[in-house]
Structure 1
Amino acid sequence: MYRPLLFIVVPCYNEEEVLPVTSKMFLNKLLDLIKKEKIDEQSRILFVNDGSKDETWNIIVRLAKEDEHYIGISQSRNRGHQKAVLAGLMEAKDKCDITISIDCDGQDDINAMDQMVEEYLNGCEIVYGVRSDRSTDTWFKRTTAQGFYKFMSYMGVELVYNHADYRLVSSRVLDAFTDFKEVNLFLRGMFPLVGFKSTSVYYERHERIAGETHYPLSKMLSLAFDGITSLSVKPIRMIVGLGILISLISFIGVIWSVSVRLMGYSVDGWASTISTICFIGGIQLLCIGVIGEYIGKIYMEVKKRPRYIISERIGDIYENSPSTLQDKGEYRNVSEKK
């Protein structure tokens, strides 16, 4: 019976309060899947330390020494959640058959992993974890999150509604994903672009077990801007449409003013002139700002800076591996795929 080798990829940033709790949950789930003979016994839990400033990395090191199922990598500095997830996926892709990425806070139901693995065995290469219920979120968090998905969809970004970064991905998909070289990452919008057979698994979202969220409204807005400007040109097209509309209105205004002047009914006006100038000036600055955002993204892409840099590794699979401190966003194989 075929049993895929699974790596559970867990990005961590300042998670010293919740990690001791959720690490046991992940291990129990991994051992349960192994006991049920759904996955290979060499499966691992891969923690990705995203430049934490607390004891997160020390906890990961201790866990790896206590149990061989725990392994970890640490980035040289904090680079953001999306790049931490990417680092873990690229680290795992040549060592396993499937990966499941999940946040460290315990809000995503780990029991959904059973169905994810089943869907993979049934032929799906990507399995999205979708939140069926967000009643544990505050009204503000729930409203802004749902508005986020609807707005992204309206802007032309292909998304799975209410899916974040809890997903199963096969190594075959990850091999294809390596051709996506962009620096500005929005993973939940990029994986649908890869293709392959996919499905969704639904689960109820829980409250955070401990600590505070690291994704406030400001980061959510930043993620939305990254997603829109990285995966859609609709804002540029909206600017074009707005320019055409204002030009049409201005042309009509010119005809009207000339007609009034010829009929001798013109009256000198200050308020209307100032209002028109302010309106047009504001629209121009807004449009320039949107275009500037795209130019900034192009600037970052052209520089081709590394998306992540791994400074340390811990775990039994790395014990006899060569030093890889110089890795810069590209994975270098250090062990054979099981």
Structure 2
Amino acid sequence: MTETLARPPFDPQLEAPLAVIRGQMPDVLTTDLLPALRPNFVTDQEALRARMTTLGLSRRDITVPGHLGDEIVLTVIARNDHTGRGPGIYHTHGGGMMLGDRLGGVEVFFGAIERHDAVLVSVEYRLAPEFPDPYPVEDCFAGLVWMAAHANELGIDPSRILIGGGSAGGGLAAGAALLARDRGGPHLLGQVLMCPMLDDRDATVSTKQIDGVGLWDRAANIVGWTALLGDRKGTRDVSIYAAPARATNLSNLPSTYIDCGSAEVFRDEDVAYATKLWEAGVQAELHVWAGGFHGFEMLADAIVSRAATTARESWLDRVLSS
């Protein structure tokens, strides 16, 4: 029998929205359910377009070479009045490596686009299990390379590119940042890792605590990593780019923001990653929000959600103003 440990409680204001969200998800996630689930994780483009119109933002799509030269799509979002060379934000979406699309989660960065005249580029990386590792992270890296190479035409200062994503997208952002370091570029100003999915080994205390509870639990996490890695999951045959928690050297990485909830499966691997960044001399800011479930600040309006958003916006303002 799997050992279930005592865990930090969910914030009381998050209990009701979590119950609603859980009610919309299958009791047990399997890859067989993906064809039925994926339409539910496609971004509502009409709602996003209305939000962007209100904020004075516009978008366009570009097809570029991905891993092995295959075509992938990037979406570029900027202010309608964008001029000059502002900072660039490269976005990698979440979805457990198996779900979601490039527009999911982009709204997290709309405030930074507005305040700093930034240009956001979001990548449609290919999903597991149809496209297992290294496709997702290599697609993300290929899009980042294209963005940096075309910075001038995008109106981006190539010395001020930041990468960021949530959940699986946070793990892919961390992996792409490691690739950028090890392959000699592109230069990154910072990385925003929101509740990132970093470790395939299923060995932390938090993964044992969040088992059968929360939004993304231990069982779902095992399915996601297995979809990405297959039989290599948990073995020595996994690269640091697929599972950045395996990296032993985190030196020469950009300034990093990491956040997560105290009641989520990724808590301990995220804390450990921040610790390894500090040990390597990298500037990192870590927030573990009491009672937060996975993705709470994007999915539920609560006092702790607003505090988490404010802290992230503050970090973005400091980095993008530098």
**TM class by shorter-chain length?**
under 0.3
* Bigger helix share: 1
With normalisation by structure 1, the TM-score equals 0.27
